[in-house]
C-alpha cells in the first residue's frame, strides 16, 4: 500500500476531527492513538471485505482455528507494518510534532491468554494471513484478560485487567451474525409428523453469542483474514426475564474473565460453560457460512477444517454431530464421517494435571444433548474396538471412564489428525501419554514443531538487527525466511560482528534505561543479560535459576575480590493465583533480588531484575536485549517452548536442557553454539522408573549445594516468611519432584562456560550471529505451511486468485 506523507497527514487530521470534533493539537495521547488506529483500520477494510468475498466466490477451503486463548499483542504497529504504511505514518506524525512510539504505548495489550498456547495461536493467525491461507480464529472476547501482576513486598498480587476500559479500535461488532447457545434444561427425542426424530428442549438457558471480528493482516499481500471472538449477552426477546442484576449473572459471567491457569485443569462449571459457548457459536457460524457455498453437506470437509487447540475446544466434535443430526437430519454415519474428516487436534502438554476430565454429572446437567451424543460416540467406539483390541486397551482409551468425560480421548477419537508441538513432545505422546491411541490409530499421529512470526519478534522488535540483515543479505528473508542462512557467511566478517555487537549493546542500553525507570535498579549494559521469561511453574524450574544466583552470591561474599563476569539475571513470570508453590518461588526470587542488588560487596557483579506483569509488550522489550536464553525445564516436561525461538532469533545463546524445541535448536545451530546441561529425557524416564532417586543424598554430599540450600532457611535472605523453608522442604525432604538438585551441578558448570565465552567478545558474537542465521526454520510461516499441507489440506490463496509459491526450506 503506498500513500504519501502529505496524504496521510491530511487523512489523519480528518479522522481525528471526525471522532473528537477538535484539532489534533488538543488531543490526548489516547485520543490520538484511537484516531490513528481507526485510520489504519480504514486502510485495511477494503482488503478485509474483498478477502472475505473472494473466499466465498472461489469456494476455497477455509481453516478455523478454535482456541480458548489468543495473545495478539498490540496491533497498531504490526498492522501498519504488514500493510506497508509504517514508515509513512512515523514520518507524518513526526512532521506533526507527534511520536509514534508514544501513541503506541496508549494501546491496550489484550491479555486474552495465559502464555505460550495463546501466543502461538496469534503467531499462527499472522502466518495464515501472510501466506494467504484462508484461515480464521475463533475464540472468546473476555471482558477481563489475564490478571495484572503487581509485587507488594515481593509477593504477587493480582489485579483485574480491564483491557476494554479503553476503546478497542480493531474490533467490529457484527450483530448480523449472532447465534443462540443453549444450556441445561430437559432434552428428549420425539417423532414428528414426518416421521423424523426431533430433539425437543424445555427450560434451557438461552445465551446470545455476539461476534466481534478483528482483522488479521497479511504481510504486504492484500490479504486480511478474520479473528472472531464471541461475547455472551441476554437474548433480546428474553430481556423481560432479566430484570435483576442477579438474574443476568449466569449469562454475563460466561465471557467475563479468562481462567488464569496455565497447564492446569480446573473442573469448574463456568469453564465448561465458556468452552461450550465458544464452540457452539463457532460451529453454528461456520455451518451457516458454508451454506453460502451451495454444496452438499458431505463436502463440508473439502471446504472446512476445524482445528482444536488443546482439548479446550474438543466439544466441537459432539456439537458438530448435534447440528448435523438434529438440525440437518443426517444419519449418524454420515454426520460422523463429516465431523471426523473436518476436525484435527493439537496436544500442548503432557502434564497430567492439565488433561481435562469433566465429571459426567456436570456435563449431563449443563449440556444434556451433548452428553447424549458423547455417550453414543463412546458406545460405538467401544463396540468397534473391543473385539479387535480387547478389554484393557479399550477401557484405557474410552471417552467415559470412572465418572468423567476424558476430553483428550474425545479429541483423538473424533479427529483425523493428532499432533504434538516439537519432535520430542510428539514422541512422548506416541510412546507414553497417548501410547494406547498410537496403537489404535498410528496414521493419525504427526509432529508440527511450533514457530514464531519473525515480523513481530524480529522485524519490529529489533529494528537495528533487521537493518543489518537487510544490508548484508538483502530483504528477501522477510518474505522467505530461509534466506537468513546467507547471514552465516558473515560469521568471520569482522565488521559485521562488530556491528552486531553494537546493536546488541544498544538494545541492552535501552532495556537498562527501562529497568531503571520502572524498577529503579541500575544495571550495567556490558554485563551478560541472562533471561528467563515464561509462566512460573515448578517444571520450568525458575527455582533452579534462583538457586544458582544464590550460589553465586555466596561465592562473591566469600571472596569479593574474585574476578566475576558481571551478570544481570532477568525474570518475567506470572504464577496462577492458586498455585502457592509458584508464588513462593516468586517471593524468594524477589527477596533475593533485594538482597543482592543492595549489597555493596556485590556491586555490578550480580543484579537480579524481576519484571512485574510479564506479557507480550514487555517481551518485545526484553528479547532483543538478551544474551542468554534460559530454557531449563526438566527434560521431557516442556512440550515445546516458544520464547526459546524468539530469543535465538534475536541472537541470544541458549542455555538449555534437551527438552521441547531446544532439541531442534541444537539440530539447527549445533551443540557447540549453545550451552546444554542436565539429564536427557531418556535419563529422566529411567530415573523415574528406577524409583531410587535420593535428593537428600545429593544435598548431603555436595558442600556448595548444601550451603546454598541452607541459605534458604538460615536467615541469609531477609524478608522471607516460610517461603524459603517451603522450597527447601520440597527439594530436600519431599525428594525434589523435578530433579533440581540432580541437575544443579551441571547447570553451574554450564554457567561457568557462559562466563568464559563472554570474555571473548568476538567469539561470543560469532555464535550469536550463527544463532540468528539458523533461526529461520522456526518461522511460523513454515509451521503453518506444514499444517496446511499435511493436516488441513488448505491452499495458499492470494487476493488475485493465484496461489503464492510454496515456501521452500
Ligand atoms: C506448553 O507448555 C508450548 C505451548 C505452545 C504450552 C509450551 O511448551 O510452547 O503450549 N502448553 O505449544 C499449554 O499451555 C495448556 O498447555
**Relative to the CA of 638, which ligand 1 atom is closest?**
8
Nearest residue to 132 (alpha-carbon basis) of 780, 779, 794, 793: 794
* 346 CB within 6 A, ligand 1: no
Is residue 745's pLDDT more than 90?
yes
| Ligand 1 atom with the shortest distance to the CA of 120 | 5
Instruction: Inform me whether the pLDDT recorded for 800 exceeds 60.
Output: no
- Per-residue burial over 679-710, b = 16 or more CB atoms within 10 Å of its CB, e = otherwise: bbbeebbeeeeeeeeebeebbeeeeebebbbe
The yes-or-no answer to whether 58-73+109-450+785-792 and 473-679+739-778 have a common fold is: yes
Q: Ligand 1 pocket test: which of 420, 640, 643 has the largest number of ligand atoms within 8 Å of its C-beta? A: 640
- Catalytic one among 499, 534, 594, 605? 534
Query: What is the predicted pLDDT for the residue at 805?
Result: 55
Closest CA to 610 of 564, 554, 542, 555: 542
Verify whether ligand 1 is closer than 6 Å to residue 716 (CB atom). no
Tell me the CATH number for domain 473-679+739-778.
3.40.50.2000
535 included as an active-site residue: yes
Does the C-beta of 640 come closer than 6 Å to ligand 1?
A: yes
Query: Is 642 a residue of the active site?
Result: yes
The gap from C-alpha 268 to its chain's centroid, in whole angstroms, comes to 22
Whole-number pLDDT of residue 160:
97
In angstroms, what is the span from residue 537 Cα to ligand 1's centroid?
Answer: 12
Q: Which atom of ligand 1 is nearest to the CA of 641?
A: 9
Determine whether 455 is an active site residue: no
* Ligand 1 mean position, distance from CA 596 (Å): 32
Q: Is 641 in the pocket of ligand 1 (CB under 6 A)?
A: yes
Q: Which of 444, 535, 587, 594 is catalytic?
A: 535
68 alpha carbon – ligand 1 mean position (Å):
13
Average pLDDT over residues 248-265: 94
Q: What's the CA-to-centroid distance between 60 and ligand 1, angstroms? A: 31
Q: Is the distance from the beta carbon of residue 660 to the nearest atom of ligand 1 less than 6 Å?
A: yes
**Nearest protein Cα to ligand 1, atom 5:** 117
Mean pLDDT over 34-39 rounds to: 98
Q: List the domain boundaries for the chain.
A: 58-73+109-450+785-792, 473-679+739-778
215, 191 in Cβ contact below 8 A?
no
Query: Residue length, the chain?
Result: 809
For residue 807, what pLDDT band results from cuts at 50, 70 and 90? low
R_g over Cα of the chain = 27
Strands annotated E in 410-536: 417-420, 445-447, 528-533
Average pLDDT over residues 130-155: 98
Decide which of 3.30.70.20, 3.50.50.60, 3.30.70.260, 3.40.50.2000 is the CATH code for 58-73+109-450+785-792.
3.40.50.2000
Ligand 1 atom 14, closest CA:
117
Can you give the pLDDT at residue 440?
97
Task: Provide the 3-class DSSP secondary structure of residue 474.
Answer: coil
Rounded to the nearest integer, the mean pLDDT of the chain is 96
Distance 728 CA to ligand 1 centre (A): 28
611, 580 Cβ separation under 8 angstroms: no
Does any ligand 1 atom lie closer than 6 A to the CB of residue 262?
Answer: yes
- Residue 183: all three cell numbers together: 444450556
Q: How far is CA 697 from CA 94, 151, 547, 693, 709, in A?
A: 64, 36, 18, 9, 13
Compute the distance from residue 640 Cα to the ligand 1 centre, in Å.
Answer: 7
Contacts of 299 (CB under 8 A, 6+ apart): 293
- How much distance in Å is there from the Cα of 449 to the middle of ligand 1? 12
Q: Is 116 in the pocket of ligand 1 (CB under 6 A)?
A: yes
**Which residue CA neighbors atom 15 of ligand 1 most closely?**
263
Residue by residue, what is the 3-state secondary structure of 184-227?
CCEEEEEECCCCCEEEEEECCEEEEEEEEEEEEECCCCCCEEEE
CA torsion, points 795, 798, 803, 807, in degrees to nearest 10? Answer: -80
| Ligand 1 binding pocket includes 419 (Cβ within 6 Å) | no
Report pLDDT for 763.
Answer: 98
Distance 455 CA to ligand 1 centre (A): 21
Mean pLDDT for the stretch of residues 443-457: 98
- pLDDT over 90 at 192, yes or no: no
Q: What is the mean pLDDT of residues 8-26?
A: 97
C-alpha cell at position 566: 558481571
Question: 2 CA distance to ligand 1 centroid (A)?
Answer: 39
Q: Could you confirm whether 380 is annotated as catalytic?
A: no
Pocket test for ligand 1, best of 113, 114, 263, 537 (most atoms within 8 A of CB): 263
C-alpha cell at 612: 512485574
Q: What is the ipTM of this complex?
A: 0.98
Separation of 660 CA from ligand 1 center, angstroms? 10
Residue 340 CA to ligand 1 center (angstroms) comes to: 25
Q: From the CA of 116, how far away is ligand 1's center (Å)?
A: 5
Q: How far is the CA of 450 from the centre of ligand 1 (A)?
A: 10
- Percentage with pLDDT > 70 across the chain: 99
Q: What are residue 5's phi and psi, to 5 degrees?
A: -60, -40
In testing the pocket of ligand 1, which one of 117, 350, 453, 540 has its CB within 8 Å of the most ligand atoms?
A: 117
pLDDT-based confidence at residue 455 (cuts at 50, 70, 90)? very high
- Looking at the predicted structure, is the pLDDT value of residue 806 above 80? no
Give me 749's grid cell. Answer: 558448570
Q: Are strands 304-309 and 224-233 parallel, antiparallel or unpaired?
A: unpaired
Q: Residue 639: CB within 6 Å of ligand 1?
A: yes
The finding on whether 638 has its CB within 6 A of some atom of ligand 1 is yes
Q: What pLDDT, on the 0 to 100 scale, is given for residue 336?
A: 98
The answer to whether residue 499 scores a pLDDT higher than 70 is yes
Q: Measuring CA to CA, how many Å separate 597 from each of 496, 534, 594, 609, 713? A: 35, 23, 5, 9, 20
Confirm or reject: Cβ of 676 under 6 Å from ligand 1.
no
Does residue 117's CB lie within 6 angstroms of at least one atom of ligand 1?
A: yes
Residue whose Cα lies nearest atom 9 of ligand 1: it is 641
Q: Please name every residue paired with 214 in a beta bridge, in sequence order, or none if there are none.
A: 227
- Residue 766 Cβ < 6 Å to ligand 1: no
The pLDDT of residue 196: 80
The DSSP secondary structure of 348-377, one letter per residue, reads ----GGGS-EEEHHHHHHH-HHHHHHHHHH
Cell of 406: 476424558
Q: What is the pLDDT of residues 336-353, one digit of tens each?
A: 999 999 999 999 999 999
Give yes or no: 540 in active site.
yes
pLDDT at position 804, please? 53
Ligand 1 atom with the smallest distance to the CA of 660 is 8
| CB-based burial, 12-31: b 16+ in 10 Å, e otherwise | bbebbeebbeeebeebeeeb
Strand order in the sheet with 400-401: 357-359, 404-406, 400-401
Q: Contact 207/254 with Cβ under 8 angstroms?
A: yes
Q: What's the whole-number mean pLDDT along residues 665-687?
A: 98
* Three state DSSP letters for 622-682: HHHHCCEEEECCCCCCCCCCCHHHHHHHCCCEEEECCCCCHHHHHHHHCHHHCEECCCCHH
Q: What does the pLDDT read at residue 563?
A: 84
pTM: 0.98
Looking at residue 809, its pLDDT comes to 47
**What is the three-state SS of 69-134?**
CECCCCCHHHHHHHHCCHHHHHHHHHHCCCCHHHHHCCCCCCCECCCHHHHHHHHHHHHHHHHCCC
Q: Which of 348, 459, 504, 786 is catalytic?
A: 348
Residue 504 has pLDDT above 60, yes or no: yes
Quick check: 357 and 404 in contact, CB under 8 A? yes
Residue 346 alpha carbon, nearest atom of ligand 1: 12
Residue 6 among the catalytic residues: no
421 lines ligand 1 (CB under 6 A): yes
Cβ atoms of residues 413 and 464 within 8 Å = no
Q: Does 69 contact ligand 1 (Cβ within 6 A)? A: no
Q: Which residue has the cell 535459576?
A: 545
**Ligand 1 site, residue 118, Cβ cutoff 6 A:** no
Q: Which residues contact 625 (CB under 8 A, 6 or more apart)?
A: 504, 507, 508, 510, 511, 529
Place of cell 513432545: 425
Could you tell me the three cell numbers for 755? 562466563
Percent of the chain with pLDDT over 90: 95
Condensed to tens digits (0 to 9), the pLDDT of residues 461-488 reads 999 999 999 999 999 999 999 999 999 9
96, 24 contact by CB (below 8 A) = yes
Amino acid at each position: 500500500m503506498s500513500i504519501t506523507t502529505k496524504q496521510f497527514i491530511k487523512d489523519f487530521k480528518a479522522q481525528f476531527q471526525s471522532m473528537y470534533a477538535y484539532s489534533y493539537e488538543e488531543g490526548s495521547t489516547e485520543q490520538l492513538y484511537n484516531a490513528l488506529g481507526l485510520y489504519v483500520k480504514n486502510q485495511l477494510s477494503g482488503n478485509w471485505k474483498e478477502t472475505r468475498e473472494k473466499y466465498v466466490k472461489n469456494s476455497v477451503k477455509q481453516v478455523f482455528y478454535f482456541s480458548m486463548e489468543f495473545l495478539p499483542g498490540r496491533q497498531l504497529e504490526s498492522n501498519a507494518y504488514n500493510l506497508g504504511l509504517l514508515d509513512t505514518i512515523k514520518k507524518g506524525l513526526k512532521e506533526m510534532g507527534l511520536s509514534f512510539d508514544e501513541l503506541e504505548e496508549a494501546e491496550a495489550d489484550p491479555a486474552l491468554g495465559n502464555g505460550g498456547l495463546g501466543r502461538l495461536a496469534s503467531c499462527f493467525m499472522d502466518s495464515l494471513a501472510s501466506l494467504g491461507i484462508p484461515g480464521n480464529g475463533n475464540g472468546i472476547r473476555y471482558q477481563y484478560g489475564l490478571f495484572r501482576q503487581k509485587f507488594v513486598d515481593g509477593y504477587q498480587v493480582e489485579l483485574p485487567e480491564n483491557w476494554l476500559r479503553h476503546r478497542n479500535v480493531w474490533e467490529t461488532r457484527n450483530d448480523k451474525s449472532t447465534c443462540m447457545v443453549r444450556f441445561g434444561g430437559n432434552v428428549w427425542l420425539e417423532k414428528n409428523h414426518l416421521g423424523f426424530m426431533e430433539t425437543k428442549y424445555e427450560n434451557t438457558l438461552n445465551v446470545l453469542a455476539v461476534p466481534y471480528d478483528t482483522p488479521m493482516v497479511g504481510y504486504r499481500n492484500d490479504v486480511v483474514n478474520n479473528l472472531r471472538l464471541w461475547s455472551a449477552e441476554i437474548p433480546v426477546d428474553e430481556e423481560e426475564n432479566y430484570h435483576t442484576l442477579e438474574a443476568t449473572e449466569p449469562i454475563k459471567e460466561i465471557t467475563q474473565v479468562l481462567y488464569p491457569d496455565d497447564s492446569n485443569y480446573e473442573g469448574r462449571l463456568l469453564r465448561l460453560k465458556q468452552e461450550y459457548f465458544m464452540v457452539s457459536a463457532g460451529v453454528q457460524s461456520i455451518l451457516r457460512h458454508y451454506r453460502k457455498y451451495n454444496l452438499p453437506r458431505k463436502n463440508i470437509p473439502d471446504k472446512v477444517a476445524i482445528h482444536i487447540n488443546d482439548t479446550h475446544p474438543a466439544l466441537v466434535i459432539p456439537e458438530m454431530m448435534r447440528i448435523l443430526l438434529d438440525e440437518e437430519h443426517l444419519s449418524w454415519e454420515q454426520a460422523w464421517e463429516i465431523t471426523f474428516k473436518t476436525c484435527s487436534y493439537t496436544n500442548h502438554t503432557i502434564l497430567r494435571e492439565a488433561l481435562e476430565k469433566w465429571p459426567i454429572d456436570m456435563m449431563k446437567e449443563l449440556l444434556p444433548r451433548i452428553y447424549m451424543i458423547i455417550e453414543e460416540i463412546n458406545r460405538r467406539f467401544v463396540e468397534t474396538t473391543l473385539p479387535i483390541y480387547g478389554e484393557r486397551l479399550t477401557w484405557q482409551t474410552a471417552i467415559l471412564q470412572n465418572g468423567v468425560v476424558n476430553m483428550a480421548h474425545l479429541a483423538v477419537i473424533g479427529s483425523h489428525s493428532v499432533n504434538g508441538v516439537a519432535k520430542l513432545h510428539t514422541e512422548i505422546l506416541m510412546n507414553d501419554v497417548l501410547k494406547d491411541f498410537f496403537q489404535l490409530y498410528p496414521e493419525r499421529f504427526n509432529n508440527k514443531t511450533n514457530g514464531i512470526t519473525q515480523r513481530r519478534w524480529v522485524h519490529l522488535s529489533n529494528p537495528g538487527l533487521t537493518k543489518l540483515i537487510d544490508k548484508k543479505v538483502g530483504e528477501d528473508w522477510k518474505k522467505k525466511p530461509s534466506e537468513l542462512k546467507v547471514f552465516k557467511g558473515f560469521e568471520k566478517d569482522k565488521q559485521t560482528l562488530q556491528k552486531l555487537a553494537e546493536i546488541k549493546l544498544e538494545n541492552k542500553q535501552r532495556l537498562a534505561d527501562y529497568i531503571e525507570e520502572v524498577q529503579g535498579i541500575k544495571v550495567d549494559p556490558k554485563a551478560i543479560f541472562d533471561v528467563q521469561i515464561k509462566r512460573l511453574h515448578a517444571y520450568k524450574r525458575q527455582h533452579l535459576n534462583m538457586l544458582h544466583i544464590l550460589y553465586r552470591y555466596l561465592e562473591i561474599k566469600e571472596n569479593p575480590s574474585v574476578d566475576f563476569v558481571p551478570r544481570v539475571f532477568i525474570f518475567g513470570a506470572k504464577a496462577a493465583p492458586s498455585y502457592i508453590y509458584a508464588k513462593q518461588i516468586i517471593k524468594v526470587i524477589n527477596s533475593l533480588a533485594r538482597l543482592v542488588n543492595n549489597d555493596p560487596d556485590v556491586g555490578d557483579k550480580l543484579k537480579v531484575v524481576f519484571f512485574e506483569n510479564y506479557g507480550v509488550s514487555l517481551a518485545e522489550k526484553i528479547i532483543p536485549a538478551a544474551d542468554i536464553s534460559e530454557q531449563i525445564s526438566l527434560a521431557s516436561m516442556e512440550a515445546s517452548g516458544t520464547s526459546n525461538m524468539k530469543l535465538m532469533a534475536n541472537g541470544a545463546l541458549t542455555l538449555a536442557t534437551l527438552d521441547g524445541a531446544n532439541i531442534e535448536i541444537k539440530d539447527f545451530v549445533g551443540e557447540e553454539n549453545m550451552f546444554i546441561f542436565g539429564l536427557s529425557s531418556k535419563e529422566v524416564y529411567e530415573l523415574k522408573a528406577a524409583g531410587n532417586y535420593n535428593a537428600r543424598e545429593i544435598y548431603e554430599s555436595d558442600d556448595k549445594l548444601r550451603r546454598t540450600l541452607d541459605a534458604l532457611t538460615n536467615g541469609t535472605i531477609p524478608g522471607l516468611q516460610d517461603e524459603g523453608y517451603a522450597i527447601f522442604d520440597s527439594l530436600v525432604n519431599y525428594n525434589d519432584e523435578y530433579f533440581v538438585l540432580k541437575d544443579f551441578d551441571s547447570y553451574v558448570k554450564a554457567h561457568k562456560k557462559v562466563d568464559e565465552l563472554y570474555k571473548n567478545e568476538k567469539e561470543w558474537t560469532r555464535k550469536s550471529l550463527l544463532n540468528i542465521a539458523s533461526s529461520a526454520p522456526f518461522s511460523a510461516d513454515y509451521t503453518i505451511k506444514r499444517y496446511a499441507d499435511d493436516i488441513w489440506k488448505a491452499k495458499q490463496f492470494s487476493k488475485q486468485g493465484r496461489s503464492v509459491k510454496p515456501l521452500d526450506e
